[in-house]
Amino acid sequence: MKPGNDPKKSRDNGRTAKPDAPIDPYLPRSGNRGYRVSRYELDLTYRVVANRLTGTATVIATTTDARGKFALDLAPTMRVTKLSVNGSRPAKYAQRDGKLVVTPARKIPVGGVLTIVVHYHGTPKPIRSPWGEVGWEELEEGSLVASQPNGAASWFPCDDHPGAKASYRITVTADSPFQVIANGTLVRRTTRASQTTWEYEQPEPMATYLATVQIGNYETRRVSDGPVPLYAVHPPRLKANFDRDFGRQPQMMDVFSRLFGPYPFTHYSVVVTADELEIPIEAQTLSIFGANHCDGSRGEERLVAHELAHQWFGNSLTLSRWRDIWLNEGFACYAEWLWSENSDGPSAHTIAADAHRGLGRKPQDLLLGDPGPELMFDDRVYKRGALTLHALRLRLGDEKFFALLRQWTAEHRHGTVTTEQFTDLAARFADAPLRPLWDAWLAEKALPPMPEP
């Protein structure tokens, strides 16, 4: 990493950044300064038919500078009714412009504990964004959460930025006919009268956009006896389709664990909703697909591979800033190609050549290393990111390339990453400077020639 380019320093040190300067220019209204969250404890009650959410959120943080006020991200659809700071109640607070501004009774010194307990309720709705509606969304029977990139505030008060990772306890009480799935491990389930409470623990640090709650008329079953437990969560009618469409996940897990390093969590689940979804949803320890992705044809297997790969690239290793989105999507897209060539499909080189031809027919106005917020989820980021990795693989050779990926996932396991960190690490595996490669693929808009073996 280059000196002066440490995202943690620019985020936390009030002497090097304006006190209320945006954390990330891609999402200038998301994220907050003055503290770092270490844990969220969410105690939620959800009425499915009424779409009514009542919650108590405990946000445990450490202050990074002394200030009179702190802010959390919270959508205006969630109304705060009571709030305390470090046990003093009530504390002063105000909601405006998607922020919950908290004023402690006493100024907290740098490095001090900041525990904010927020009681709130409302009718959760997705947040409108330039990338569509994101956050808590109603289904025909139940709900889902799809928060990337800035939808977490639709259902809990948070520091909504990918560089702000924390552990979670998510407890949800819902009507008993419904199952509740959330990140991490189910540690307790209790039923009283007509409601069931589900408690999940997610000990590994997680970005806010990866936190999720899925509620529906589902059945849950373990579908693999391998070293990493794999679970299927779906409407009962989709069982046979699931077993075909997702039947090769154990082999995918073996291939990716060999190429990328050990799977970074204790288990992996796939949720298939009864509703159709335009695209699958990434979340930590699970992925969410629509019924349209589970029709028994095995026609969406590349997406199955893509979402599994995100557990390494995006969930364990999470980008520190949104401009580096290719570190998530380019890697997951390349994992699709790697799965193909490791499962008797076309080679990664064959798929890369086809992707290169496709990109050549599209506008040459995307800068992969800094695509801008309007283009950060453009399909060209996915394909060009994967091609960048393929070019690097051809330059280094398979042995060094996959050693690099395993070192990358090991060094930054459950952390946050930047492009500079990856390029610096790659230099240790190269016999010649890689700067021309990075300049051509990351720092220029024109598409470089197709890399050849």
Which residues are identified as catalytic?
Answer: 307, 382
What contacts 387, CB < 8 A, 6 or more positions away?
352, 355, 356, 359, 441, 451
Distances (CA, A) of 136 to 45, 51, 139, 379: 14, 10, 10, 24
CA atoms within 13 A on the CB side of 186: 17
Residue 119 marked ligand-binding: no
Residue 306 marked ligand-binding: yes
Angle at 256 between CA 255 and CA 260, to 5 degrees: 130
Distance CA 57, CA 84 (A): 11
CA atoms within 13 A on the CB side of 148: 20
Q: Which residue matches tokens 């445990």?
A: 60
CA atoms within 13 A on the CB side of 232: 25
Distances (CA, A) of 366 to 117, 147, 356: 43, 24, 14
Distance CA 218, CA 272 (A): 9
Q: How far apart are the first and last CA of the chain?
A: 29
Instruction: Assess contact for 310 and 328: CB atoms under 8 A.
Output: yes
Structure tokens at 250: 């154990």
Task: State the binding site for Zn(2+).
Answer: 306, 310, 329
Task: State the binding site.
Answer: 306, 310, 329
